[in-house]
Amino acid sequence: MDAMARLLITRREAVLAGAAALSASALPAPAAALGQMDTAIRNVFGEATIRAGKVTLDLPPLVENGNTVPMTVSVESPMTKDNYVKAIHVFNDKNPQPNVISLKLSPRAGKAVIATRIRLAGTQKLTAIAEMSDGTLWSGTEEVVVTLAACLEDLP
Amino acid sequence: MTARALINVPRKAKRGDVIEIKTLISHVMESGFRTGTNGKTIPRDIITSFACTYNGEEIFATQFYPAVAANPFVTFYTIATDNGTLAFTWIGDNGFEVTQEAKIVVE
């Protein structure tokens, strides 16, 4: 049983390490290889370091109708005067425009959670980036599978 | 232009409580990326910004892009500090502007 557990753990660790290696190699890619989302993120934040973590994007993994997709973004932060979330930006990879929503927060918010409904033109990746009061940037990413795409359909 | 805005703010709260605010406004949010029956692109008509002030102080502000669904629905949080008024303003293309207020009693 011990051997089995060890096997499972090593497998999980291997998968995690693989994922980490992937995202690490994806970040410093040359400009030519960047998707629209990464380009948009670089346009907003420049070359600043964006670390993964603290940000949770809550989206249904499978969406039937891309016209209204419920999305919740939450950021781990005490939201005190000295340590709070200043701004959150959400980006997409496949819509005609890479921005989804941008918002400003203050310590008055109490907690850094916001929910809204968005449109998704196809199966894609979404990234939310939180800018903290100390200037650090944190990101969270989520994959969504969309059956019926929004935005691009023509009128009947 | 008339637009129906629904706002859900608790009528009463304890001082220091984190309260949930839900807002919904009726708007087509035409993305500007769709083609009409005449083959021409339908011009963009979206709400571009939404902000909330609490007794005059801005506590929340967002910028919307065409990726926000029709009838924008936003839930956010704030700390109940004082009795007063929360004012919500939506501004958009083609001179769209709606302001609505809600009162809160803080004990």
Q: Quote ipTM for the complex.
A: 0.89
Q: How far apart are CA A152 and CA A139, in angstroms?
A: 28
pLDDT in tens, B23-47: 999 999 998 888 888 888 889 999 9
- The contact set of B with A (CB < 8 A) is 18-19, 31, 33-37, 42, 54, 57-70, 72-79, 81
Question: Most B CBs within 10 Å: which of A118, A144, A146, A153, as the mutation test of the B interface?
Answer: A118
pLDDT in tens, A118-139: 999 989 999 999 999 999 999 9
CB contact under 8 A, A100 and B75: no
Amino acid present at A138: W
For residue B26, the model assigns a pLDDT of: 94
| pLDDT at residue A38 greater than cutoff 70 | yes
For residue A1, the model assigns a pLDDT of: 47
CA distance B87 to chain A (A): 15
Average pLDDT, chain A: 82
For residue B35, the model assigns a pLDDT of: 86
Q: What ranges do the domains of chain B cover?
A: 4-33+44-106
Cβ atoms < 10 Å from Cβ of A18: 10
Chain B residue with minimum CA distance to A112? B77
DSSP B91-106: EESTT-EEEEEEEEEE
For residue A26, the model assigns a pLDDT of: 46
Query: How crowded is the C-beta side of B19, counted as CA atoms within 13 Å?
Result: 21
For residue A148, the model assigns a pLDDT of: 84
CB contact under 8 A, B76 and A151: no
Q: What ranges do the domains of chain A cover?
A: 35-148
Whether the Cβ atoms of residue A64 and residue A147 lie closer than 8 Å to each other: yes
DSSP SS3 for A17: helix
Chain B residue with minimum CA distance to A95? B67
| pLDDT at residue A3 greater than cutoff 60 | no
Q: What would the CATH number be for the domain defined by A35-148?
A: 2.60.40.2470
CB contact under 8 A, A155 and B68: no
DSSP SS3 for A63: strand
CB contact under 8 A, B68 and A101: yes
| pLDDT at residue A98 greater than cutoff 50 | yes
Cβ atoms < 10 Å from Cβ of B37: 9
pLDDT higher at A32 or B48: B48
Q: How far is CA A121 from CA A17, A34, B2, in A?
A: 31, 19, 29
pLDDT beneath 70, residues of chain B: 1-2
Cβ atoms < 10 Å from Cβ of B95: 7
Helix or strand holding residue A69 (H, E): strand A69-75
pLDDT higher at A31 or A81: A81
In this structure, which topology does domain B4-33+44-106 adopt according to CATH? Immunoglobulin-like (2.60.40)
pLDDT band for position A33 (cuts 50, 70, 90) = low
| pLDDT at residue A7 greater than cutoff 90 | no
Q: How far apart are CA A124 and CA A102, in angstroms?
A: 19
Please tell me which of the candidates B33, B63, B64 has its beta carbon nearest to residue A151.
B33
CB contact under 8 A, B68 and A119: yes
pLDDT in tens, A99-124: 999 999 999 999 999 999 999 998 99
Reported pTM: 0.81
Q: How far apart are CA A25 and CA A21, in angstroms?
A: 6
CB contact under 8 A, A108 and B78: yes
| pLDDT at residue A31 greater than cutoff 90 | no
Whether the Cβ atoms of residue A120 and residue A150 lie closer than 8 Å to each other: yes
Q: What is the DSSP letter of A64?
A: E
For residue A5, the model assigns a pLDDT of: 53
Chain B residues touching A151 at Cβ < 8 A:
31, 33-34, 66-67
List the alpha helices (DSSP H) in chain A: 2-26, 36-45
CB contact under 8 A, A101 and B62: yes
